[in-house]
Amino acid sequence: MTQTKTSKAGKRKSSAAKSTAAKSIMKTDRIKRNPGIPFDEDAVRYLPANLSAIERRAATLGSRRSIKKDWQIAWMLKAVSLIDLTTLSGDDTPGRVERLCAKAKHPIRTDILEALGVGDIGLTTAAVCVYHNMVATAVKELAGSRIPVAAVSTGFPAGLSPFKQRVAEIEASVKAGADEIDIVITRTHVLTGNWKALYKEVCRFREACGDAHMKTILATGDLATLRNVAKASVVCMMAGADFIKTSTGKEHINAVLPVGLAMVRAIRNYRDETGYRVGFKPAGGVSKAKDALQWLVLMKEELGDRWLQPDLFRIGASSLLSDIERQLEYHVSGRYSAYNRHPMA
């Protein structure tokens, strides 16, 4: 009799955790878009970044919280809803993008979701991210799904094509139907301390984006120091960035927690000073479910629950989704499956 009661209590607890996950995924409130502010060179020049303190704090993120069982499942479902499902390869084809879009609309197999008791939450990824020449294909495949299409732009990944060409590329992607534009900055402006030039560049890119939201890729692996990362973050937000993003995924170092911590603290300070909320996107190298959970912990602890919604937090990834799906199936079946049971694109 005692065992029966325990079992029922366990089921109620499990159901509550899954219900919380579902509500959390769907919950959001509209935010006022960051319009940018006038350039303030003094605010940039004296901006600190304590490397040792940032590294110590980042090192605690994987150990301070232990997320287990149903709550771990809830957090992984949340992570799925925050993924910008991405393909940025030289051998991309319309067929690959079509498959990617199909996966974005149904990221986790139906049998797994039903076994977890969350088959009715309408889970999708946050967006699909592609090169400009694949925007039209993605827009067509995602029609009616409410999943936005993001296009990388401005000479991605190096950002070294002629300036007018980079602006024209943004305008072409918006015209083709892209809802979001992931732009890359000129790293030379950061490395030489030419912050006013960076500000003007990002302002022009924001103008070209129009109503499309702009994610500003800092390519942090190329910026040499965390202080440069913090300064570039602030300048891009001053110029009207809707998101700041770590990497293109093509640098030798991509999304790492110390860099993320420097960026989200810049976001927090910007919100405190201006009242505007700016989003954050780690991208490149986030391929395991446990990595995604660490980024979620970072956002929750540094910026709060509101930054766990897709309008303020994204994870740029592709193989991450396969690993999360494997972990969810393991929770259901008790066995790890082969990756080919979880096709990505």
Dihedral sign of CA atoms 295, 88, 310, 32 in order: positive
Active-site residue identified among 18, 222, 281, 311: 281
% pLDDT > 90, the chain: 78
Average pLDDT, the chain: 90
- The answer on pLDDT for 48 being more than 90 is no
pLDDT, tens digit (0-9, with 9 covering 90-100), for 75-90: 999 999 999 999 999 9
Distance (Å, whole) CA 36 – CA 246: 19
In this structure, which long-range contacts are made by residues 327-332, counting pairs with CB atoms below 8 Å and at least 24 apart in sequence? Answer: 327/76, 327/289, 328/73, 328/76, 328/77, 328/108, 328/112, 328/116, 329/109, 329/112, 331/72, 331/73, 331/116, 332/112, 332/115, 332/116
Model pTM score: 0.90
Q: Which whole number is the average pLDDT over 58-66?
A: 78
- The answer on pLDDT for 284 being more than 70 is yes
Q: Which CATH superfamily is domain 39-341 in?
A: Aldolase class I (3.20.20.70)
For the chain, how many residues are written?
345
The confidence score (pLDDT) of residue 12 equals 44
- The answer on pLDDT for 45 being more than 90 is no
Active-site residue identified among 245, 291, 311, 323: 245
Q: Which whole number is the average pLDDT over 216-241?
A: 97
In this structure, which long-range contacts are made by residues 205-208, counting pairs with CB atoms below 8 Å and at least 24 apart in sequence? Answer: 205/154, 205/166, 205/167, 205/170, 205/181, 206/36, 206/239, 206/240, 206/241, 208/167, 208/170, 208/171, 208/174
120 is catalytic: no
68 is catalytic: no
Nearest by Cα to 124 from 152, 82, 181, 95: 82
Return all residues near 165 (Cβ < 8 A) that are at least 6 apart: 155
Question: Cis (ω within 30 of 0) for the bond into 38?
Answer: no
245 is catalytic: yes
Active-site residue identified among 182, 222, 311, 323: 182
Q: Which whole number is the average pLDDT over 21-50?
A: 80
pLDDT, tens digit (0-9, with 9 covering 90-100), for 130-188: 999 999 999 999 999 999 999 999 999 999 999 999 999 999 999 999 999 999 999 99
